Copies of this chain bind each other. A is one copy, B any other.
Amino acid sequence: MMSSPHLLELHNISKSYGALTALRDLSFHVGHSEVVGLLGDNGAGKSTTVNLISGIQKPTTGHLSIDGEKTTFSCRSDSADAGIETIYQNTALVDSLSITRNIFMGRERVNAFGFLKQTEMREIAMEVLEKAVHISGIDSPDKLVGDLSGGQKQAVAIARAVFFKRRVLLLDEPTSALSVRETEALLAQVLKLKAENVSSVLVTHNLYHAYQVCDRFVIMSHGTKVFDVKKADTTISQLTEYVVLT
């Protein structure tokens, strides 16, 4: 490797749950200002991969590297330090807390004594909800997340990740519950972030969406990578074929 190292690399990662091998010898990379589409059948191991990069699961073997330097994430804060931000498939929201508190969970705006700057956070929350995804029906950032509709919850998770994004954004089926308008807004966000030099990994089952924004595609099947191709070198029908047939 003589060129500048990749932003994020996975090296020969395997992961087992008891008797089941969820990932087997998986390697791929994410470059600077690149949007990678991570595709594959249900149960292929995409979410497991996202969770590994986020540091909330640990690989059985293999390792990651950031900017060419080998690292291991033992918890979410490690990956946050490395500039990674994630929208989880299960949204990772606390139903019993308000929208604002969910957005700033773990990264509260505080004064010198650790007390919350509530007004400031409230305002940011509302703003970012409107900007990141044009979500409708949320009229107050004090609403409990448990009272939101499926799409509204997902919008909160997106707003949080977009607000705190730094270098890499991992999106695990971020549009699954979003309506047409919100989906368009999110895809536009991904491109905008790319322009701001934030790379993304987009997990989705909607190949049209993937094709719309990704620069490269990694296709997984049964826990391994079966295909890794630049957008220029493939077509949507070839992608479909790989996803469906492997």
Q: Are B43 and A152 in contact (CB under 8 A)?
A: yes
Q: Is A71 close to B, CB under 8 A? A: no
A131-168 Cβ-contact flags toward B at 8 Å (1 or 0) = 00001111000000001111110010000000000000
Residue of B nearest to A184 (CB): B244
Q: Give the docked Cα–Cα distance between A122 and B216 (Å).
A: 42
For the complex, is A179 an interface residue (Cβ under 8 Å from B)?
yes
Q: Chain B's nearest CB lies how many Å from the CB of A57?
A: 13
Cross-chain contact A43 with B136 (CB below 8 angstroms): yes
**Most chain B beta carbons < 10 A, residue from A42, A43, A147, A207:** A42
Find residues 46-100 in chain A having any chain B CB closer than 8 Å to their own CB.
47, 89-90
Interface stretch among A102-110, A170-178, A189-197, A224-232? A170-178
CB of B181 within 8 A of CB of A244, answer yes
Asked if A215 is an interface residue, CB under 8 A from chain B, the answer is: no
Closest to A175 in B: B205
**Residues A149 and B43 in contact, CB atoms below 8 Å apart:** yes
- Shortest C-beta distance, A246 to chain B (Å), equals 10
When the two chains form the complex, which single residue of B42, B148, B244 contacts A178, counting CB atoms closer than 8 Å? Answer: B42
The answer to whether A42 touches B205 (Cβ under 8 A) is no
The complex places the Cα of A152 from the Cα of B41 at a distance, in Å, of 10
Q: Does A243 contact B (CB under 8 A)?
A: yes
Q: Can you name 19 extra interface pairs (CB under 8 A) apart from A42-B135, A43-B151?
A: A41-B136, A41-B179, A41-B182, A42-B136, A42-B150, A42-B155, A43-B152, A47-B149, A89-B177, A136-B222, A137-B222, A150-B173, A173-B176, A176-B177, A177-B205, A178-B205, A180-B205, A180-B243, A181-B243
Q: Which residues of A contact B (CB under 8 A)?
A: 17, 40-44, 47, 89-90, 135-138, 147-152, 155, 173, 176-183, 205-207, 222, 240, 243-244
List, sorted by A's number, 15 A–B pairs whose CB atoms are closer than 8 Å. Answer: A40-B179, A42-B155, A42-B177, A42-B182, A43-B135, A43-B138, A43-B152, A47-B149, A90-B150, A137-B222, A173-B176, A178-B205, A180-B243, A180-B244, A181-B244
